[in-house]
Amino acid sequence: MREQVFLFDTTLRDGTQGEGVSLSVDDKLKIVEKLDQLGVHYIEGGWPGSNPKDMEFFKRVQEVNLEKATITAFGSTRRSGIKADEDENLQKLIDSGVKAAAIFGKTWDFQVKEAIGTTLDENLQMIYDSVLFLKQNGLEVIFDAEHFFDGYKNNRQYAMEAILSAEKAGASCIALCDTNGGTLPHEIYEIVKDVCSKVTVQVGIHCHNDGEVAVANSVAAIQAGARQVQGTVNGYGERCGNANLISVIPNLQMKLNFDCISEGNLTKLTSISKYVHEIANQSAPSNQPFVGKSAFAHKGGMHVSAVLKHPETYEHVKPEALGNARRVLVSELSGQSNLLFKAKEWNYRFDKKDPSSKKLLETIKEKEHEGYQYEAAEASFELLVKKSFDQWKDYFTLDYYKIFIEKNGEQAFSTEAVVKLCVQNEVVLTAAEGNGPVNALDHALRKGLEQFYPIIKNMYLSDYKVRVLDETDATASKVRVLIESSDGNEKWSTIGVSGNIIKASWLALIDSVQYYLMKHDSEIELNHPKQDEHCLGVSNH
């Protein structure tokens, strides 16, 4: 039978101790609902004794209907020299209206003396009194044994006395904290095993990631007998963060056969991770294990060839089990298999032996050598594929463009672009102003095209990035321009490379427009008679 591991999420408390992470009450409430839907057992919402925001959270969360999660409030043991019922922090835990509290207490003798400046005996009494007081007021109490592993290594007897004091007072779980995050998995395993043989209540684990082993440490603790795991979504937390529950859960559930959440809910991990990154305004690392965009992205030709035969050749778990997806990247490291995968994705008929597919691979490698990077510009890559397979259609051709930049005395810069195109057999000459040369070109191009293809009014540039490819050539360097475009529903990326930034931008810009028109070809076909040779102009490229 699979054993249950209880999940204790502290994204809303320890997660917000991470630099740059700040959540409003509304943000916290939204995350609570997601965590509950995932099947998390305890959600630590904050520290009521710390600030009015957390107090408001505990008030408002009472109105949220939760299926599974127990909302938990965080605090510390009573201050030294006062009684538990005189301690404001403990009182606020009760006032917060929660059913469970997690309080931290010192278990490292050095910290008792140096950080809180009291005697070892008084600290044991503080732990006992505080747990008992909360219990007597009807709360379930989880005792966070702060710095437990450092304490155990320094003075094992005292560290054990501290947690036994919490157990004696009625704590339901003793969560062993690697507060400084410097302990290694083999030490965690040994120490947790020893503790599990000496306490009768549930043992939990709370790891920080300073040695970059918080997930491994959490897993080791569960293997040694702990049954509650504390951590945060995406590993946010003080300094280098906490154990990332988004990785801990699948490791425990898919590899070690523990139950953490229901099997079906594993597929929610990718969307929950993204959701929390979004709300916390953090960029999602592409290489985040299990759920990142690159977690199942195959680039090397050898890998793709094998993955097409058997995905498990280069995947440790199935991406779809986590709500993620397999991707194949195209680059100078590609083989025919990468193209085969992409062609299938886009419904092209593709034969590895076809000379045009070999030619396409060569073109990609040459272009990448020039500075193109197709893995970041899939729309440009798809256009390249279209060209190779003679499925290309020029929706317009360029005769010329001219750009005028004027700076006149005190006046601000003014920029104007003139574009001459051939569209549907008609010559079109337009001019437009813009904030800068690329913006002016964009406006002039659209002005010329909108009358023929009104649909392009829906698209806009959502991002524009320039990268200097060889900075040793200073202003003569080649640049790579990446443009991201959107129509509010879809996003697509295109690329241009040149020694001239305007030309690189133009190449990326026309790819973006060509791509959008190609994708909506069925909607514009009627307005698109065949071009006669008269007006073909020069190639866009």
The residues that touch ligand ACO, with contacts defined as CB under 6 A, are: 14, 17, 47, 49-51, 76-77, 79, 104-106, 115-116, 126, 146, 179, 238
Q: How far is the CB of 150 from ligand ACO (least distance, A)?
A: 12
Q: Which is nearer to ligand ACO, 115 or 466 (CB)?
A: 115
Q: Which is nearer to ligand ACO, 77 or 514 (CB)?
A: 77
Pairing of strands 491-498, 202-207: unpaired
Q: Which amino acid is at 278?
A: E
Establish if 378 lies at the interface with ligand CC(=O)C(=O)O (CB under 6 A).
no
Based on C-alpha coordinates, what's the Rg of the chain?
Answer: 30
Q: Which of the listed partners (ligand ACO, ligand CC(=O)C(=O)O, none) does 116 bind, with a CB threshold of 5 to 8 Å by partner kind?
A: ligand ACO
Q: How far is the CB of 94 from ligand CC(=O)C(=O)O (least distance, A)?
A: 20
Q: How far is the CB of 228 from ligand CC(=O)C(=O)O (least distance, A)?
A: 13
Site residues for ligand CC(=O)C(=O)O, window 98-157 (CB under 6 A)?
Answer: 104, 144, 146
Q: How far is the CB of 433 from ligand CC(=O)C(=O)O (least distance, A)?
A: 56
Q: How far is the CB of 317 from ligand ACO (least distance, A)?
A: 32
Establish if 218 lies at the interface with ligand CC(=O)C(=O)O (CB under 6 A).
no
Q: Which of the listed partners (ligand ACO, ligand CC(=O)C(=O)O, none) does 47 bind, with a CB threshold of 5 to 8 Å by partner kind?
A: ligand ACO
CB 15 within 8 A of CB 237: yes
Q: Which residue is nearest to ligand ACO (CB)?
A: 50
Please list, in sequence order, all residues whose beta carbon lies within 8 angstroms of the beta carbon of residue 335, skipping any fewer than 6 positions away.
301, 302, 304, 305, 361
Q: Which of the listed partners (ligand CC(=O)C(=O)O, ligand ACO, none) does 536 bind, with a CB threshold of 5 to 8 Å by partner kind?
A: none
Q: What is the dihedral of CA 342, 343, 344, 349, to 10 degrees?
A: -170
Q: Which is nearer to ligand CC(=O)C(=O)O, 241 or 437 (CB)?
A: 241
Q: Which of the listed partners (ligand ACO, ligand CC(=O)C(=O)O, none) does 206 bind, with a CB threshold of 5 to 8 Å by partner kind?
A: ligand CC(=O)C(=O)O
Site residues for ligand CC(=O)C(=O)O, window 11-50 (CB under 6 A)?
Answer: 14
Q: Which is nearer to ligand ACO, 116 or 468 (CB)?
A: 116
Q: How far is the CB of 2 from ligand ACO (least distance, A)?
A: 32
Using alpha carbons, select from 117, 178, 120, 170 the residue that is nearest to residue 148: 178
Q: How far is the CB of 132 from ligand CC(=O)C(=O)O (least distance, A)?
A: 20
Establish if 177 lies at the interface with ligand CC(=O)C(=O)O (CB under 6 A).
yes
CB 116 within 8 A of CB 146: no
Buried b (16+ CB within 10 A) or exposed e, 435-468: eebbbbbbbbbbebbeebbebbeebebeebeebe
Q: How far is the CB of 118 from ligand ACO (least distance, A)?
A: 8
Q: Which is nearer to ligand ACO, 14 or 511 (CB)?
A: 14
Q: How far is the CB of 49 from ligand ACO (least distance, A)?
A: 6
Q: Which of the listed partners (ligand CC(=O)C(=O)O, ligand ACO, none) does 48 bind, with a CB threshold of 5 to 8 Å by partner kind?
A: none
Q: Phi then psi for 18, rounded to 5 degrees?
A: -80, 145
Using alpha carbons, select from 175, 205, 179, 186 the residue that is nearest to residue 108: 179
Q: What is the dihedral of CA 255, 260, 262, 265, to 10 degrees?
A: -80
What one-character DSSP code corresponds to residue 164?
H
CA–CA distance, 15 with 438 (Å, rounded to integer): 41
Question: Residue 308 is encoded by which pair of tokens?
Answer: 């097409």
Pick from 179, 324, 337, 498: which binds ligand CC(=O)C(=O)O (CB under 6 A)?
Answer: 179
CA distances from residue 398 to 92, 390, 496 in whole angstroms, order as listed: 71, 20, 16
Task: Report helix angle 185-196 to 214-224, nearest 10.
Answer: 30
Q: Which is nearer to ligand CC(=O)C(=O)O, 151 or 185 (CB)?
A: 151
Q: Which is nearer to ligand ACO, 79 or 447 (CB)?
A: 79
Establish if 206 lies at the interface with ligand CC(=O)C(=O)O (CB under 6 A).
yes
Establish if 268 lies at the interface with ligand CC(=O)C(=O)O (CB under 6 A).
no
Q: Which of the listed partners (ligand ACO, ligand CC(=O)C(=O)O, none) does 77 bind, with a CB threshold of 5 to 8 Å by partner kind?
A: ligand ACO
CA–CA distance, 117 with 110 (Å, rounded to integer): 10
Using alpha carbons, select from 292, 8, 302, 293 the residue that is nearest to residue 142: 8
Q: Which amino acid is at 277?
A: H
Q: How far is the CB of 225 from ligand ACO (least distance, A)?
A: 23
Q: How far is the CB of 50 from ligand ACO (least distance, A)?
A: 3
Q: How far is the CB of 208 from ligand CC(=O)C(=O)O (least distance, A)?
A: 6
CB 508 within 8 A of CB 496: yes
Q: Which of the listed partners (ligand CC(=O)C(=O)O, ligand ACO, none) does 332 bind, with a CB threshold of 5 to 8 Å by partner kind?
A: none
CA–CA distance, 498 with 500 (Å, rounded to integer): 5
For 297: left if phi > 0, alpha if psi spans -120 to 50, otherwise beta; the answer is beta
Q: How far is the CB of 147 from ligand ACO (least distance, A)?
A: 8
Residue 95: is it exposed, middle or buried by C-beta count within 10 angstroms (0-12/13-18/19+)?
middle
CB 201 within 8 A of CB 183: no
CB 92 within 8 A of CB 70: no
CA–CA distance, 519 with 383 (Å, rounded to integer): 11
Q: Which residue is nearest to ligand CC(=O)C(=O)O (CB)?
A: 177
Query: Given the rule CB under 6 A, which residues bind ligand CC(=O)C(=O)O?
Result: 14, 104, 144, 146, 177, 179, 206, 208
